[in-house]
Copies of this chain bind each other. A is one copy, B any other.
Amino acid sequence: MLALTILGNNSAIPAFDRNPTAQILQTNDESYLIDCGEGTQMQMTRYKIRRSKISRIFISHLHGDHYYGLIGLLTSMGLLGRTQDLHLYAPQPLEQILLLQLSVADTHLPYKLHFHPLKNEGIIVDDKKMQVACFSVKHLIECWGFLFREKKNPRKVNPERAAIYEVPSAFYEKLQQGFDYVTKKGTIVPNAEVTVAAVQAKSYAFCADTIYDESLADKIREVDLLYHEATYLKDLHERAAARFHSTTQQAASIAKLGNVKKLLLGHFSSKYESLEEFLPEACEIFENTELALEGACYKV
C-alpha cells in the first residue's frame, strides 16, 4: 500500500493559500517526507500527519521552497521528545546548513539524524519492503528525483486450506513464492488452492523541479504514479525552459512517453490564482492526470 498526501503544491512564493512543496508518502509501516518547504510542520498539523511516524526525509534540491521548513520540523521533533532515528537524503551542502543552525542555537537533538548525501544515481534505500532510488534531474542547481518501489509481496498461505491438502509447513516459503505442491502420491496441489495473491507492489516517482527532458521517461517508466511539476500553462513554454521548469503539456508528454499509469501535476506558479486550465491542457496529451491538491490523499 502506497498513499501520497500533498502538503504543498506551489512554487517559489507561497500564494493564494498554496504552500511550497512537501509530500507525505505512506507505506504500510512508515511515512516518508518528500521535500519540506516553509510551513510544512504547520501543514502536518492541519492535515493530521503524525510527525513521529516519519522515518525518512528526501530533499530534492536546495531551492528554499523545497527545504526551508526542514530545520523547523527537525527542531520540533526534538522538542516533542523524539528518540527514534531519522534518515535524511539530500544534497551534501544541506548538512552544513543544518549543523550551523543547530550549533548557534546550542541545540542537541535527542534523536540520531543520519545524513545521507546524494551523490550518484541508484538505490539509496533497500529494506525488506521498499526500495528507493534517486535519479538526476535537470534544473538550475543540483537536483534529484526519487523512485519509490514496493518490493513484490509474497503470496499469503491459507493454513486451513494447506492443512486439508496436508502441505507440510516446511513448504510454506515455496507456496509464498507461487510454487505448486506435489504430494507424495504425485498429486499436484495448485498454488492458488492454498494461497491468496498478495497486494500488488506499487511504485511512485517524484520528479522534483525539472526542465522538459525526455530522458526522464526511461527513469520513471511504467510507474503507477508519476508526480511531474507543471509550473506553467503551455503558452509559457519559453519561460519554463529559461527557468528550467516545465509546462502542463510537457509533464503530460513525459507521462505518455514513460507509459505511466497516472500523472499528478504540481509546483504551480504563484502567477496563477486559478488552476482550472492546468488539467484540461494536460489531459489533451495524457488523460489519467490529476492536480496535486493540498490535503488530498492519492492512493497509488
Contacts and interface: CB of A to CB of B under 8 A. Distances in A.
A86 interface: no
A71 B64 contact: yes
A79 interface: yes
A97 B101 contact: yes
A interface, how many residues as a size bin?
A: 20 to 34
* Copies of this protein, total: 2
Nearest to A68: B72
A71 to B, nearest CB: 6
A72 B64 contact: yes
Contact of A105 (B39, B62, B96): B62
Contact of A14 (B42, B62, B94): B42
A140 B64 contact: no
A29 B43 CA distance: 35
A104 B93 contact: yes
A45 B13 CA distance: 11
A141 to B, nearest CB: 5
Contacts of A68: 38, 68, 71-72, 75
Interface string A52-76: 0000000000111000110110011
Contacts of A3: none
Interface string A150-174: 0000000000000000000000000
8 contacts: A38-B39, A38-B68, A62-B101, A64-B75, A68-B68, A68-B75, A97-B97, A106-B141
Report, nearest first, the 5 A-B pairs whose CB atoms are least far apart: A93-B104, A38-B72, A62-B104, A13-B76, A68-B72
